[in-house]
Amino acid sequence: MPDYTCQIVEWVKEKATIPVIVKLTPNVTDVTYIARAAVNGGADALSLINTINSIVAVDLDTFAPQPSVGGKSSHGGYCGPAVKPIALHLVSAVCGDAKVKIPVSGIGGISTWKDAAEFIALGSATVQVCTAVMHYGFRIVEDLIDGLSNWMDEKGHRTIEDFRGRALPNVVKWEDLDLNYHLVAKIDHATCIGCELCWVACEDGAHQAIRRNARGNGGPVVEIIEEACVGCNLCSEVCPVQGCITMESMPSGAAPVTWKQFTAGKGKLAPRSEHFHTATFGPKP
Ligand SMILES: Cc1cc2nc3c(=O)[nH]c(=O)nc-3n(C[C@H](O)[C@H](O)[C@H](O)COP(=O)(O)O)c2cc1C
Ligand code: SF4
Ligand code: SF4
């Protein structure tokens, strides 16, 4: 409830003699409403995210959720590397909110200097680390500092402010993305081990844009059908060989057009082959 957030922050601010940093939970529908309420209550800064409500497992012999306390459990707080994408999104939402003009401390899954730099690039003024310190000890902080500092030297950033928030303008609504930006998967046949995982994923979970060839004829086991590929990335995610499937941009030859513009009758979609629209389950070798 944003109203309660505002009220509680006001109470704390009335008595506090030091700056008040309000920590936000991710367990809400839209964190920006809570962030604004904390700002309205007088918060000096915000931090996010706290842990995500979760049940990690159920013992199928006893039906006790894990970890079990005498056969019972409660939801726990999910944290660590798995929550980083959620935290980055929520930090970007708060830092990109014009009504939030106070510093934000980014938290959630930070365990390397790169993680820290990403949070800062999305607007965090500071970062915090919990799980990684519990896992590797406080010494990990020295590694974060060294790594961040080396990268900043390499890029010519003198202070954090030189790159803080630089990624924020690139976070847009999906309807503002260019529909004529075409990506196509490319397979490096020299490193492909012929496991066919990409074929399975594309055939059953994407656009049937990978051809599976008969083995033993000396040719590649799998090939991308470029005109059917929608650039969804799935094959590159499942390929077990690092760098074997890359996503490459293919100039569509058409001017950029967003969904918003297209549905308002402005701009044209680049032509696509019939195969792109009608890819179906093909014959199996
Ligand atoms: C064991 C444990 C205890 C925590 N206790 C608190 C707490 O008392 N108050 C709080 O605001 N956050 C608490 N957190 C949340 C962390 O401060 C942090 O927001 C969250 O774990 C995400 O960061 P991380 O991925 O670096 O762990 C706790 C986290 C863990 C793992
Ligand atoms: S990017 Fe998507 S559509 Fe294209 S080949 Fe890979 S899985 Fe198929
Ligand atoms: S998943 Fe990768 S290694 Fe396996 S067949 Fe596809 S391209 Fe080759």
| Contact of 221 with 194, CB cutoff 8 Å | yes
Ligand 3 mean position, distance from CA 123 (Å): 37
Reported as a single tens digit per residue, the pLDDT across 223-234 is: 999 999 999 999
Q: What is the pLDDT of residue 49?
A: 98
Question: Strand, coil or helix: what is 164?
Answer: coil
Claim: this prediction has a pTM higher than 0.85: yes
Residue ranges, comma separated, of all CATH 3.30.70.20 domains in the chain are 176-278
| Contact of 164 with 116, CB cutoff 8 Å | no
Nearest ligand to the CA of 224 is 2
Q: What is the pLDDT of residue 21?
A: 98
Which of 3.30.1240.10, 3.50.50.60, 3.40.50.300, 3.30.70.20 is the CATH number of 176-278? 3.30.70.20
Reported as a single tens digit per residue, the pLDDT across 133-151 is: 999 999 999 999 999 999 9
Residue ranges, comma separated, of all CATH 3.20.20.70 domains in the chain are 2-170
* Superfamily the domain 2-170 falls into: Aldolase class I (3.20.20.70)
Mutate to test the pocket of ligand 2, among 208, 222, 229, 281 (most ligand atoms within 8 A of CB): 229
Question: Strand, coil or helix: what is 183?
Answer: strand
88 lines ligand 1 (CB under 6 A): no
Q: Where do the DSSP E strands lie in 49-161? A: 52-54, 57-59, 64-66, 76-78, 104-107, 126-128
How many Cβ atoms from other residues are within 10 Å of residue 42's Cβ?
16
Mean pLDDT score of the chain = 95
User: Ligand 3: residues whose CB is within 6 Å?
Assistant: 187, 192-198, 221-222, 239, 241, 244-245
% of the chain beyond a pLDDT of 90: 92
Can you tell me the distance from the alpha carbon of 68 to that of 51, in angstroms, rounded to the nearest whole number?
19
Residue 5 — left, alpha, or beta (φ > 0 → left; ψ -120 to 50 → alpha)? alpha
141 lines ligand 1 (CB under 6 A): no
Reported as a single tens digit per residue, the pLDDT across 65-88 is: 999 999 999 999 999 999 999 999
Q: Which whole-number Å values give the CA distances from 89 to 108, 123, 260, in the listed order?
A: 11, 11, 22
185 lines ligand 2 (CB under 6 A): yes
Answer whether residue 278 shows pLDDT above 80.
no
| Contact of 105 with 46, CB cutoff 8 Å | yes
pLDDT band at 266 (very low <50, low <70, confident <90, very high): very high
Nearest residue (CA) to ligand 1, atom 13: 50
Q: What is the pLDDT of residue 114?
A: 98
Reported as a single tens digit per residue, the pLDDT across 178-236 is: 999 999 999 999 999 999 999 999 999 999 999 999 998 889 999 999 999 999 999 99
